[in-house]
Amino acid sequence: MKSLPSSGEARVQQAKRRLVLDIFLARGVAWEHVRDMRRRWEIEAQTQLPPPHPRSVYTPESLSSPPGTEFAEQAERWHTTFQVWVNDLGGLYKALVPEEARDHEYIVTGWYIFLSMCVLFDPPETRLEDFAESFMWDYPHTIPRSQYEMFASPIVWRRDSNQVEATCVEYYEGLLTALLEKYVHPQGVTTEEAVGDIKEERPELFERWKQRLHANESRPLIDVQPYHRREDIESAYKALSTRRETGPTTGRKKRDELTAVQCAVLHDRHNFPDQTDRRRRTWTHKRLAEEFALDSARSAKAHVQLGRELLDQYRGQ
């Protein structure tokens, strides 16, 4: 019997499936980012399941293999271009991967590999779910540190963000001051003049800084300290829970859109006569229910209908 994924794994799987569906339907922000990256790198995506993943990320043909160390200049250019490719994947990671589906803060390799796969390959229409699951990784969103198990753990291990910010600001302010004193002030240029010139010449730097500060909204977290009593923690939970308009849903599970589109594609485009019995079709509602572990043929029919609607809405544009 196949074990159920943990809550962290489920969030990662859901985000991957959503991304694959967006690319297949050519819809939304995810598709726009992937399409733009393909254009920048002049990539003609191949429609296929990707080959076994490399030791690092998938790369375009221009980065097929690094030159040997005897070709120092070419090797340096290759590594520079490779770093640009990785940086672009980092941009996709920040733009497309929802926070709840991100790995441990220091381990993002799995997402980088998966995103590079999505840029270089298009999912075959008969293998959408296989494409979404063709590369898996085992890094959980949270690190278990006790014997307790929860259905959807809200516990996340993080450093104090204020302390991290203060440390970085202190370092870069000191570094900037040292650079100005060593290279700028001897030329008769003050710090204010240097910073003012840069603001005029590179206004996008400061605009991006302001936008990101504004977009980084605060959110409440329960920070349990040794002096907190159990009733303090329970009261904090109740206070935060009242801020939510709705609680977790407990009704019927929403139909998965990727499964729905896959069912519609198979039923409408690949429903050939069965080789063993020409009176039967390959992808009946009953067969779809069996293949995708749906509740019944009726459920499969509903999935097909939803998939048709999504295909008409996006692929028909």
Whether pLDDT at 80 is above 70: yes
Question: The tokens of 34 are what?
Answer: 């992937």
Whether pLDDT at 192 is above 70: yes
Q: What is the pLDDT of residue 107?
A: 53
Residue with tokens 């790369």: 59
DSSP per residue, 32-79: HHHHHHHHHTT---EESPPPSP-SS----GGGSSPPPTT-HHHHHHHH
Q: What is the pLDDT of residue 156?
A: 57
Is 103 within 8 Å of 16 (Cβ atoms)? Answer: no
Q: What is the pLDDT of residue 96?
A: 93
Q: What is the pLDDT of residue 26?
A: 95
Q: What is the pLDDT of residue 273?
A: 86
Question: pLDDT (tens digit, 9 = 90+) per residue, 281-316?
Answer: 889 999 999 999 999 999 999 999 999 999 999 876
Question: The tokens of 305 are what?
Answer: 């209908």
| pTM of this structure | 0.65
Q: What is the pLDDT of residue 138?
A: 56
Beta carbons within 10 angstroms of residue 258's beta carbon: 25
Residue with tokens 């494409």: 131
Is 93 within 8 Å of 12 (Cβ atoms)? Answer: no
Q: What is the pLDDT of residue 1?
A: 36
Which of 165, 157, 160, 174 minimizes the C-alpha distance to 213?
A: 165
Give the mean model confidence (pLDDT) for residues 134-162.
57
Q: What is the pLDDT of residue 130?
A: 95
Whether pLDDT at 6 is above 70: no
Give the mean model confidence (pLDDT) for residues 225-254.
72
Question: pLDDT (tens digit, 9 = 90+) per residue, 116-130?
Answer: 999 999 999 999 999
Q: What is the pLDDT of residue 70?
A: 62
Whether pLDDT at 7 is above 80: no
Whether pLDDT at 248 is above 60: no
Name the percent of the chain lying above pLDDT 90.
Answer: 48
Confidence of residue 203 (pLDDT cuts 50, 70, 90): confident
Question: pLDDT (tens digit, 9 = 90+) per residue, 12-66?
Answer: 889 999 999 999 999 999 999 999 999 999 999 999 999 987 678 899 988 877 7
Tell me which of 165 and 156 has the higher pLDDT. 165
Whether pLDDT at 68 is above 70: no
Whether pLDDT at 278 is above 90: no
Whether pLDDT at 218 is above 90: no
Confidence of residue 143 (pLDDT cuts 50, 70, 90): very low
Distances from the Cα of 290 to the Cα of 274, 286, 295, 297, 303, angstroms? 16, 6, 9, 9, 13
